[in-house]
Amino acid sequence: MKSGDLFSQNSISSQLIRIVFGFYCLFAIVITAIQVFIEYQHTENIIKTELKINEDIFASSLSAGVWNLDIEQIQVTVNGMLSVPIISGVVIEQDNKILAARGLIETKEGAIYTYDNQGELQADNALKNNNLFSYSFPITYLYKGKGIPIGNASIYSNNTVVFDRIEMGITLIIVNAFIKSFILWLLFIWISRSILITPLNQLITAIKNVNLENIGNFQLNLKNKRKNELTIIEQSFMSMVKQLKEARESVLNSQRVLVEKVKQRTVDLELSTQKAEVANIAKSNFMSRVSHELNTPLNAIIGCSHLLTTNIASAKLENNSQNEELIKNIRISGEHLNMLVQDIFELTQNNREKLNIAEERVDLNDVVLSAINMLSTLAAERNVTLIYQPSPLTVFANTLRLRQVLLNLLDNAIKYNQVNGSVEIKLQENDMGQIKLSIDDTGVGIPNEDLDTIFEPLSRLAYAEEQCIDGMGLGLSIVKMLVDRMDIMIQVKSTVNNGSSFILYFSKLP
């Protein structure tokens, strides 16, 4: 809305201007009318006073003329009186009879007559509403020192004379009133525009243009030079906008945070779901694997037991070698079953609660040699050469758990090795006193994509599945769990078809 539109409409400011200016015009008209009326009355009084002055001027001449009833002299005097601009009529009377008359006169009955320059009644038709006013004075003659009333003179003037006299004055009054009203109107317009309409329009425009999306850039400047209600409105509005801005920002932030939280929760939920699914799958796999793994030795034990029973029943006792083999298988299967149960126990135990592992100074060389001895048979079966150069080094760990770690690592290095491959165990101590134990094999190697998951429980290489390598995929998980408990860092390097290297870093002895 433009300011002109606002001004032309029923805005408060334009209504205010119209009402105030309307009342001013009304009062101006009334005051001007009163002024004109007073001016008229004042001028009429002045003219009446001037009429009185004519008494002094013409009284003596009239007195002499009336005294002698010298009509000619009276008429000359009357003509002289009529030449005075303000006098529109004169009548000289004696004993209620007109001695001489000129111009417009009014009878006692209120009739108005016109007498010409010869003193003759000009017309019978009486003129009306000429608004005559007169001044009458007695004509006296000083006879023997005493004023003798000998007649009466009436001098008439009328409103035309008054209007002629005040014409310029009234014109000036009206022009003055008009100019004042016009100037006042302009001042009204100017002042109201500057202090009311323009700020109001700016305020209205600003309010209409408030954009919540861009409220941060909102500006309102009414440019009020003096503090007034609009300044308060401006300040209050800007304060409100500021609060609105802050509130909006707060809402947006809250919304943003909420969205982030929702997203995070969604991701978490998805992860949880995935984990749950993975866990569920892992559980299923674990149970399937456990069942499978447990089933194998159990079947072996059961089968061997049946054969052994049959052999005993058929008295094939002579074949002891066969029976010994069956018993050996039963033992081996039992030991294997025991190992599986032990692994499962350790793993589940670790998951339930933290293992309390007591650490001590351990002769690392002894532990390595015991592990090599325990797996020498397996290595021989697989035709894998175990290479170790004994080194007398001591670390801070738990002997049994450390041996289990080495057994698991060496078992994997043997199982996943090539035929005629080798496994080299090396012990080193650097300048800082840190001890490094590395187990390098010449096996199939671990693909890079599997490096991150090899320590996950039940995680097995595709190669193991393909080659039906015995195991549940718990060895490395147990290794990782144990080294973490003993503050031993483990590192894996591997190249497919070229072998893997598992390195243990022992902290410096305290």
**What residues make contact with other proteins under the rule CB under 8 A?**
66-70, 141, 143-144, 148, 150
Q: Closest distance between other proteins and the C-beta of residue 64, in Å?
A: 8
The Cα–Cα gap between 215 and 245 comes to 6
> Sign of dihedral through CA atoms 185, 187, 190, 192?
negative
Q: Closest distance between other proteins and the C-beta of residue 68, in Å?
A: 5
The Cα–Cα gap between 225 and 152 comes to 74
Nearer to other proteins, 69 or 175 (CB): 69
**What DSSP element (H or E) covers 103?**
strand 97-106
> Sign of dihedral through CA atoms 278, 284, 286, 289?
negative
**Under a CB-based contact definition with an 8 Å cutoff, are residues 415 and 469 in contact?**
yes
> Sign of dihedral through CA atoms 233, 236, 238, 241?
negative
Q: Closest distance between other proteins and the C-beta of residue 154, in Å?
A: 20
Q: Which of 249, 242, 258, 254 is nearest to 213 (CA)?
A: 249
Q: Closest distance between other proteins and the C-beta of residue 149, in Å?
A: 9
Q: Closest distance between other proteins and the C-beta of residue 169, in Å?
A: 44
Nearer to other proteins, 68 or 288 (CB): 68
Structure tokens at 164: 């002629």
| Beta-carbon contacts of residue 202 (< 8 Å; ≥ 6 apart) | 220, 221, 222
Nearer to other proteins, 69 or 341 (CB): 69
Q: Closest distance between other proteins and the C-beta of residue 74, in Å?
A: 12
**Under a CB-based contact definition with an 8 Å cutoff, are residues 273 and 299 in contact?**
no
The Cα–Cα gap between 375 and 502 comes to 17
What are φ and ψ of residue 248, in 5° steps? -65, -45
Nearer to other proteins, 67 or 388 (CB): 67
Q: Closest distance between other proteins and the C-beta of residue 102, in Å?
A: 20
Nearer to other proteins, 62 or 483 (CB): 62
Nearer to other proteins, 38 or 69 (CB): 69
| Beta-carbon contacts of residue 32 (< 8 Å; ≥ 6 apart) | 173, 174, 177
Nearer to other proteins, 118 or 217 (CB): 118
Nearer to other proteins, 73 or 231 (CB): 73
The Cα–Cα gap between 391 and 506 comes to 15
**Under a CB-based contact definition with an 8 Å cutoff, are residues 151 and 94 in contact?**
yes
Q: Which DSSP string do the residues of 18-74 spell out, in sequence order? A: HHHHHHHHHHHHHHHHHHHHHHHHHHHHHHHHHHHHHHHHHHHHHHHHHHTT-HHHH
Q: Closest distance between other proteins and the C-beta of residue 138, in Å?
A: 13
Q: Closest distance between other proteins and the C-beta of residue 65, in Å?
A: 10
Nearer to other proteins, 97 or 208 (CB): 97
